[in-house]
Amino acid sequence: MLLSSHVVAGNGIYWLKESNPTSRMEEFYVSLSKRVALNDVSISEVDRLCGSAEVATIIVSKAQALEYISDVFKGRECKAQFLSVLFSAGRYSSIDMGVLKTRHIAIEQPLMHQVSYASEHKQYIKRLGVLYSKRDDPVEIGMIKAMYKHKNLELVFRLTDDGSSSVEALKEVIKVVDGIVVSPQSKLITPTYIKPLLIATIRQRIPVFGGLSPGFVKSGFSGGWYSTNESISDTVVKVINKFEDALPVEYAEKPVLVVNERVSRHLRMQMKRPTSP
């Protein structure tokens, strides 16, 4: 039953089609279409929806498409509202949408959730490295620092925005910490740097938590909290129903915990399994 996931009737819900959708986009589309009636549209039809009498909600699943909409429509009157999904909060915050009504549901879970999960392993981790970015919410970073200031866990923060300096920051941090949390906004989770990150940490038997999605755990991260297609879909419904009251960036509720048992055995760690962040 999806009674709790029904959308308020009256406004059209439109899915902006991509020419080369990823498997994640296709899987998410299937999940979302079970909850709402989606109308597929192309980028060329956005202009028509902007001038429509109804308040259309256009769901955008790619940052580049949202950038295009921003460039074309942010200085024009547009009755449509835009809801972006499947990319990071930091990527969204870098796009200037002008006066367009926009909300975003981040693909990742908050950095605070990943730090919280890493802190569950205090028998192994006394000093925790937090590799973050200027695109992370400074309020959230401040809250994390305040929360752990008087706890039996020392946090070591390092900015990792630039490629070469991020690698140097990683080399420096792994000398002094027992575990690492990597922000979804960090340069180190990009394809160029993820392999050196994993090689360096596994050699030193240092667990790594966080990243964008469960795919990072499959690649060699120890674990973390992650949004599912189902939880993001439910959050889409919630935001559509209360668009005006929604936060600019929302995170999916009811994330799942994913751990890499093979890596944990290599690290000789017993991974904790809390029921919620």
pLDDT digits (tens, 9 = 90+) for 131-163: 999 999 999 999 999 999 888 899 999 999 988
Task: Give me the residues paired with residue 213 across strands.
Answer: none
pLDDT reported for residue 150: 84
CA distances from 151 to 85, 144, 203, 274 (A): 35, 11, 28, 19
Q: Which residues of the chain have pLDDT under 50?
A: 1-5, 7-10
Q: What is the CATH class of 111-226+257-267?
A: alpha beta
HSE of 152 in the Cβ direction (CA atoms, 13 Å)? 6
- The tokens for 111 are 């950095």
CA distances from 259 to 79, 203, 223, 226, 273 (A): 44, 19, 4, 11, 9
CA distances from 46 to 21, 40, 104, 170, 271 (A): 18, 11, 18, 43, 47
Task: Give me the residues paired with residue 102 across strands.
Answer: 82
Residue with tokens 């991509």: 18
Q: Is the dihedral of CA 40, 44, 45, 51 positive or negative?
A: positive
pLDDT reported for residue 2: 37
pLDDT reported for residue 211: 93
pTM: 0.90
CATH of domain 3-107+227-246: 3.40.50
CA distance 119 to 262: 20
- Tell me the domain boundaries of the chain: 3-107+227-246, 111-226+257-267
pLDDT reported for residue 164: 84
253: amino acid identity, one letter = E
CA distance 189 to 197: 8
CA distance 269 to 87: 31
| CATH topology identical between 3-107+227-246 and 111-226+257-267 | yes
Give all strands of the β-sheet with 223-226 in edge-to-edge order.
154-159, 127-132, 179-182, 208-210, 223-226, 256-259
pLDDT reported for residue 4: 39
pLDDT reported for residue 96: 95
What confidence tens digit (pLDDT) does each residue in 42-82 have?
999 999 999 988 899 999 999 999 999 999 998 888 999 99
